[in-house]
Amino acid sequence: MSVPAQPAPDFRRQRAVGMAGIAVASLFASGLWLGIDLWISPLPGMESLGARMLLTLKCCCAAVLFCLVTGIEAVAHERLTSPAFDPLVGFETRRLRVNQRYLQNTLEQIVVFAAALFGLAAYSPDGSSMRAVVATTALWIVARAAFWLGYHRSAALRGLGAPGMAISMIVLLYVVSRFGHEIAGTVGAIVPLAAFVAIEAVLFWETRPVKER
């Protein structure tokens, strides 16, 4: 697949705005996560795995309602009140396109989020540590809202939602590292992390514009 040899100036400007948005959102997200994790009371009755899994399921239900269902409703309402009622006509407003992309992105990311959340709950043995599950859920929901609202302003500002994907990946790395440690000790904990970092490095290298290689 061919790619532009030289990024357009507008792309450079949007990327700069997006990176700034990610930096600001990351600071806010860190404060939000730590605030929830440190200040809410330990959750009672979380000593059994079944209770922790049930709480995690409830958290996933909240995320689906406020992030996925709202996206579905946004697309459905616009189709109901515009020529987009018939998808085959090809009528699309910018708002509808953004909402569709938000919905598709949320479908993709909610799989990562749910896997990470259930894994985190498995390694959170009591009510105190389960606060991390609640904090992660709240952060992810807020980040999805920031992504959606930012995307409606500009493509660059969808970067405000980046902490949502970041927290899912961080939690997944933690879970996989813990799992690896159970299998092969310290080496088993390190190898998955090193492998993921190596894959990320290859992806960054291989997806650069041709002229930068």
Q: Write down the residue that tokens 């790619």 correspond to.
A: 3
Q: How many domains does the chain have?
A: 1
What's the pTM value of the predicted model, to 2 decimals? 0.90
Asked, for residue 113, whether it belongs to a domain, the answer is: yes
Distance between CA 10 and CA 19 in Å, rounded? Answer: 14
Asked, for residue 99, whether it belongs to a domain, the answer is: yes
Closest CA to 139 of 174, 104, 165: 165
Distance between CA 62 and CA 23 in Å, rounded? Answer: 27
Asked, for residue 213, whether it belongs to a domain, the answer is: no
- Residue 93: which CATH number? 1.20.120
Asked, for residue 202, whether it belongs to a domain, the answer is: yes
Asked, for residue 3, whether it belongs to a domain, the answer is: no
Asked, for residue 140, whether it belongs to a domain, the answer is: yes
Reading the chain (213 residues) residue by residue, the pLDDT tens digits are 344 444 555 778 888 888 888 999 999 999 999 999 999 999 999 999 999 999 999 999 999 999 999 999 999 999 888 888 878 788 889 999 999 999 999 999 999 999 999 999 999 999 999 999 999 999 999 999 999 999 999 999 999 999 999 999 999 999 999 999 999 999 999 999 999 999 999 999 998 876 644
Asked, for residue 1, whether it belongs to a domain, the answer is: no
Q: Which domain holds residue 203?
A: 9-208
Virtual CA dihedral for 34, 40, 46, 51, nearest 10 degrees?
-90
Tell me if residue 128 falls in helix, strand or coil: coil
Q: 45: which DSSP letter?
A: T
pLDDT at residue 213, rounded to an integer: 46
Asked, for residue 112, whether it belongs to a domain, the answer is: yes
pLDDT at residue 5, rounded to an integer: 46
